Amino acid sequence: MDDTIPRLCDLVLAHRPRPDGATAIANLHFAVFDQTTVPTLRVCDPMICVVLQGMKEVTIGAEILRFAPGACFLSTMSLPATSAVLRADKRRPYLAISMGLNQDRLATLLASDATPPPPTDARAFGIGQAPGALLGALLNLVALLDQPQDIAALAPGREHEVLYRLLQSDQGPLLRQAAQSDGTTARLAEAIERIRGNLGKPLRVEELAGIAGMSVPSFHRHFKALTSSSPRQYEKTLRLQAARRLLVGGNDVTRTAVRVGYDSLAHFSRDYAWLFGLPPSRDAARLRRDPGVSAPQFI
């Protein structure tokens, strides 16, 4: 029986990360939870995540995904996601590994990739079972934590190997689609970056559609297919997530509402409570008492 996942579990437990999940390898994060968690909204940046032990449920837009041991999740753009650990205890904690997608390394790899891109637009996320070759590449990368003096020299090459194995897996078409500079995914990514850069100023859908070079109906259709969310809901979720960070950092509710583009405090409080389950002040107080709930890791 393959012992790669048990060996990865041992390494994760031997090198427990900081509260933010960071490890000594810049692009590598671990998640270790010894109890179940309440559903928490975070923004999932482009990355690969492999679950090693336990179970987590993640909701992206209208889709609910279950991550069991061996599951490999891939996100190719920033996506709001609500996640909760469903199975974990002190004896068998929830364990997962994530690696951010380095776009420069991915572009270098794809430059020598002869596989044609997929004919249709893929989604911005996908889940499947991690193949043995990908798990082995992750093990090679994580094992560098036992030889910290080798990280600077060897980590880039081993990260390259992980991306190569990912391209060879069932997730390869998703990566290739995301890398097409003239495809629908790339044009939608430009609109999404405009949203992220203007969270204090709500944007008109017509403007976003123009950035993507689409009609409004086409933009709505492609955006929903890619992210499982409407453009307006995506924008609102990012704005409220930004508000949450400001509130936890000590900003008052009224000033925060204005900073994320709300003219009405009542409207802001209503939207906030609908998304996070508590009014702004009470939610911020809860997060300050329990920082683990708002830890910036997605996995």
Q: Collapsing DSSP states into helix, strand and coil, what is residue 211?
A: helix
Q: What pLDDT does residue 77 have? A: 85
Alpha carbon separation from 178 to 67, 112, 117, 184, 276 (Å, rounded)? 23, 16, 10, 9, 30
Contact 298, 42 (CB under 8 A): yes
pLDDT the model gives residue 1: 42
pTM reported for the whole predicted model: 0.83
DSSP 174-207: HHHHHH-TTSHHHHHHHHHHHHHTTTTSPPPHHH
Nearest Cα to Cα of residue 212 among 177, 187, 193, 234: 187
pLDDT of the residue at 182:
62
Mind listing the pLDDT tens digit for each residue in 217-243?
999 998 988 888 899 989 998 899 889
Q: Is the dihedral of CA 60, 64, 66, 71 positive or negative?
A: negative
Instruction: Please tell me what DSSP assigns to residue 70.
Output: T
Helix 184-196 crosses helix 172-179 at what angle (to 10 degrees)?
Answer: 70
Task: Give pLDDT tens digits along the chain (299 positions).
Answer: 489 999 999 999 999 887 788 999 999 999 999 999 888 888 888 999 999 999 999 999 888 999 999 999 999 888 888 889 999 999 999 999 999 998 888 888 887 776 766 555 567 899 999 999 999 999 999 999 999 999 999 999 999 999 999 999 998 888 887 776 667 777 888 888 888 888 888 788 999 999 989 999 999 998 988 888 899 989 998 899 889 889 988 899 999 999 999 999 999 999 999 888 889 999 888 877 765 555 545 55
CB atoms within 10 A of CB 298: 23
What is the C-alpha to C-alpha distance for residues 56 and 33, in angstroms, rounded to an integer?
11
CA atoms within 13 A on the CB side of 164: 14
Q: How far apart are CA 168 and CA 162, in angstroms?
A: 10
Q: For residues 195 and 199, give the distance between their C-alpha atoms in angstroms, rounded to a whole number.
A: 6
pLDDT, tens only, 10-56:
999 999 887 788 999 999 999 999 999 888 888 888 999 999 999 99
- How many whole angstroms separate alpha carbon 17 and alpha carbon 24? 9
Q: Which residue segments constitute the domains of the chain, with CATH numbers given? A: 4-179 (2.60.120), 184-294 (1.10.10.60)
Strands (E), 69-186: 71-75, 79-87, 94-100, 125-129
pLDDT at res. 296:
47
- For residue 98, what pLDDT is reported? 95
Residue 148 in contact with residue 24, Cβ under 8 Å? yes
